[in-house]
């Protein structure tokens, strides 16, 4: 939210704020990539909440946020041995276009290798209904 800070080499610094557009420019279930300075950032609207991630895949540096949002599909084995697949969460997964590695766009965590994580940035909608991304 507004006024967030970070610590760098023992100094407390305020995050810089960048307006990326009106909130209605990214409909629910969609995202877009914006360039802020020398950084490429993916901003996603998941169920009405905004999330932002650095557009760099930890696997090989691909543009992880150049992806549409996909449903999170899970499966369970039923007592009769059959497998039931179901949508666990709608429109919250991105897939890096280079190798198809999937990440939760809400957390940046890779679905198959939890130690791989995309850098997250704070994001909020201000009083003027503008999406604001905060960067160090």
| Residue 38 pLDDT exceeds 70 | yes
Comparison of pLDDT for 3 and 31, the residue scoring more: 31
Torsion of CA 18, 24, 26, 29, to 10 degrees: 140
| Residue 3 pLDDT exceeds 90 | no
Q: Which domains does the chain have, with CATH numbers?
A: 31-122 (2.102.10.10)
Can you tell me the mean pLDDT for 78-106? 94
Can you tell me the mean pLDDT for 107-125? 97
Cβ pair 89, 72 in contact under 8 A: yes
Residue 130 three-state SS: strand
User: What percent of the chain shows pLDDT beyond 90?
Assistant: 81
pLDDT of residue 114: 95
Partners of 86 in the β-ladder: 74
């Amino acid at each position: 939210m507004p006024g967030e800070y970070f610590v760098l080499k023992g100094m407390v610094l305020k995050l810089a704020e960048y307006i990326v557009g009106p909130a209605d420019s990214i409909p629910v279930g969609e995202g877009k990539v914006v360039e802020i300075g020398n950084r490429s950032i993916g901003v996603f609207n998941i169920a009405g909440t905004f999330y932002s991630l650095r557009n760099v895949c930890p696997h090989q540096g691909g543009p992880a946020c150049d992806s549409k949002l996909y449903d999170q599909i899970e499966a369970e084995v039923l007592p009769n041995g059959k497998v039931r697949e179901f949508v666990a969460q709608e429109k919250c997964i991105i897939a890096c276009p280079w190798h198809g590695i999937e990440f939760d766009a809400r957390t940046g965590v890779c679905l198959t290798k939890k130690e791989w994580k995309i850098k997250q940035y704070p994001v909020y909608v201000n009083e003027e209904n503008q999406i604001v991304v905060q960067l160090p």
